[in-house]
Chains A and B, each alone.
Chain A
C-alpha cells in the first residue's frame, strides 16, 4: 500500500500561492492539522465553540493573505504561525468582550512579531455590496486584477495568473484600474463618506 505523505510547509505555501484546487487541499490540510488544537485552546480560555470556530477561520484567512503577499517569511513553521495569529485574534476578541484593555495591550506587545496580518471585518456589509457593484463596472481584466490585489496576491502571482510579462505590468495595471475605481467612488459622495466612517474590528 502506498503511504500518503503529508505535504511539507514549503509545499503548502506553494499550493496556497498558486491558488485553485491545490490551495483548497492545502487549506483542508491546515484545518485538519491545526483546527482542533486552536479550537481547544480558545475553549479552554473562556471561548465558546462558535467563537473558537470564528477565530480559527479568521486566523487561516489572515495566514493565507500573508502567505500570498509575502509577509510570511517562513521564520517559523506554518502551525506555529497560525497558532500565534489565532491566539492574538482570540485575545483581541476576548479583551473586547471583557473590556480588559490593559490585558489586551500586554498580549499585543508580546505578540508584536505577528502584527503583520490584517484581520478586518466589515462593519457595514452593505458597503461591500456597493463596492462589488462598482467593481462590476470595471472591465473584466481590471476587475480580476483588483480582486487578486484585494486578496493580497503579490504582483508576481497576479502577473502569472493574468499572463502579463512581469510584475511591473501587473503593478501598472493595478494602478490604473484602482484609479478608475477611486474616481467612481469619488463620484458617489455618499459612498465616499460611508467608507470614511467605516471601522474594522
Chain B
C-alpha cells in the first residue's frame, strides 16, 4: 500500500473527507477489491483497539464508583496494620527502591546555559536558550531544531541542548541515541552527554544499560561533571 493510498483510507475511515471526496472514494472502493480489503484491515484494527480502550475505561470507572467509605476503611486497616506490626514494615516501605524513571527525575537538572548571557532575544540561539532557561522546553526544542536545520552554531551544543529538552519532555527514546552519539565523539561535551544518556536510559526503564553506562562513566578518571552524583546514583541502583 502506497503512502498516498494509506492516507486516503485513513481520511475516509476516520471521517475526515468531505462528502464529494468520500463519494469519489466510495466509487473507487466499489471497483478496487484490494482497496476495500485495505480499508477493512484499517477499520478492524482500529475498532479492536478502541473496543479494548472502551473496556479498560469502563473498568476504571467501575473502580472509581467504589464507595469512598470503603476506601477509607481500607486505609484505616492499613494504618492499623502498620501500627500493630510496627517499625520493620515502615522501614521496609521507606526503603523500597525507586524506579528508574523516578531516579532519572530526581537526578535530572538541566545543563547550564553556556551559550547566552540572558541578553535580548535577537538571534535564534538566544530565543532557544531563553526558552530553555524558562524551562519552556517545547519552544526551546523548536528553536534548536531550526538551528540544527540551518546548521547555525556549535552542532554539539545544539544536539546536547535539544536532547536535554527531549529528556525533560519525557521523550527519552529520542534523546538517548542523540546523546549516545554525542558521547562517542571526543569533545568537551561528551562528559555531559554521557551523564544525560544515563538519565535517558533510566527514564526509558533500561536500568541495566544505565548501570553499565554509569560504571563506564565512573571508570574514566578524568570525568568531573556530576561525578559525585553519578557515584550516588550507582549506589542507589545497586
Residues of A within 8 A of B (CB): 24, 27-28, 31, 35, 53, 57-58, 60-61, 64-65, 118-122, 125, 127-128, 131-132, 135, 139-141, 146-147, 150-152, 163-165, 175, 178-179, 181-182, 185-186, 192, 195-196, 198, 200
- Also in contact, A175 and B7, with CB within 8 A (given A31-B64, A60-B61, A182-B41): yes
What's the Cα separation between A200 and B55 when bound, in Å?
Answer: 12
Q: A57-B58, A61-B61, A165-B142 are in contact. Are A132 and B52 (CB under 8 A)?
A: yes
Q: Which of B115-123, B170-178, B213-221 contacts A (4 or more CB under 8 A)?
A: B170-178
Q: Which residues of B contact A118 (CB under 8 A)?
A: 50, 54
Chain B interface category by residue count: 20 to 34
Cα-based distance from A150 to B137 in the complex (angstroms): 27
Contact call A165/B53, Cβ cutoff below 8 A: no
Known pairs A151-B53, A185-B41, A196-B40; A140 contacts B48 (CB<8 A)? no
Give the docked Cα–Cα distance between A146 and B62 (Å). Answer: 24
Q: In the complex, what residues of A have CB within 8 A of residue B52's CB?
A: 122, 128, 131-132, 150
Query: Which residue from A27, A31, A165, A200 sits with its C-beta under 8 Å from B51?
Result: A200
Mostly helix, strand, loop or mixed at chain B's interface? helix
Q: What are 22 A-B interface contacts by the 8 Å CB criterion?
A: A27-B61, A28-B65, A35-B65, A57-B65, A65-B57, A118-B54, A121-B51, A128-B52, A131-B49, A135-B49, A141-B171, A146-B49, A150-B46, A150-B49, A163-B137, A178-B46, A181-B45, A181-B49, A182-B45, A195-B44, A196-B41, A198-B51
- Measured CA separation A24–B71 after assembly (Å): 15
A139–B205 Cα distance when bound, in Å, is: 12
Most-contacted residue by chain B among A147, A175, A182, A196 (CB, 10 A) = A182
- Partner of A120 from the list B42, B54, B64, B137 (CB cut-off 8 Å) is B54
In the assembly, what is the distance between CA of A165 and CA of B55, in Å? 31
Given contacts A31-B64, A120-B51, A131-B52, contact A61 B46 (CB under 8 A): no
Does any Cβ of A come within 8 Å of B232's Cβ? no
The residues of B that contact A53 with a CB separation of less than 8 Å are 62
Query: Which 10 A/B pairs are nearest by Cβ-Cβ distance?
Result: A128-B52, A195-B44, A150-B53, A150-B49, A120-B51, A122-B51, A61-B58, A61-B57, A163-B169, A163-B138
Asked if B47 and A120 sit within 8 Å, CB to CB, the answer is: yes
Q: Which residues of B contact A165 (CB under 8 A)?
A: 138, 142
Q: With A and B bound together, what is the CA distance between A179 and B42 in angstroms?
A: 9
Tell yes or no: B6 within 8 A of A by CB.
yes
Complex contact B48–A195 (CB within 8 A): yes
Please determine whether B64 and A28 come into contact, CB atoms closer than 8 angstroms: yes
CB distance from A88 to the nearest CB of B (A): 16
Distance (Å) between the CB of B7 and the closest chain A CB?
7
Residue B204 lies at the interface, judged by CB distance under 8 Å to chain A: yes
How far is A122 from B54 in the complex, measured between Cα atoms in Å? 9
Nearest residue, chain B, Cβ from A119 = B54
* Other-chain contact of B48, A27, A127, A178 (Cβ < 8 Å): A127
The interface bits of chain B over 149-180 (1 if a CB of A lies within 8 angstroms of the residue's CB, else 0) are: 00000000000000000000111111000000
Query: Could you say which of A31, A128, A186 contacts B41, with CB atoms under 8 Å apart?
Result: A186
Evaluate contact between B6 and A179: CB separation under 8 angstroms: yes
B48 & A128 in contact (Cβ 8 Å cutoff):
yes
Inter-chain CA distance A186–B42, complex, in Å, is: 10
Output the least CB separation between B115 and chain A (Å).
22
Residue contact A152 to B50, C-beta cutoff 8 Å: yes
Flag whether B10 is at the interface (Cβ < 8 A).
yes
Specify which chain A residues have a CB less than 8 angstroms from the CB of B171 in the assembled complex.
140-141, 163
The interface residues of chain B lying within 8 Å CB-to-CB of A120 are: 47, 50-51, 54
Q: Chain A: which residue is nearest B3 at the CB level? A: A179
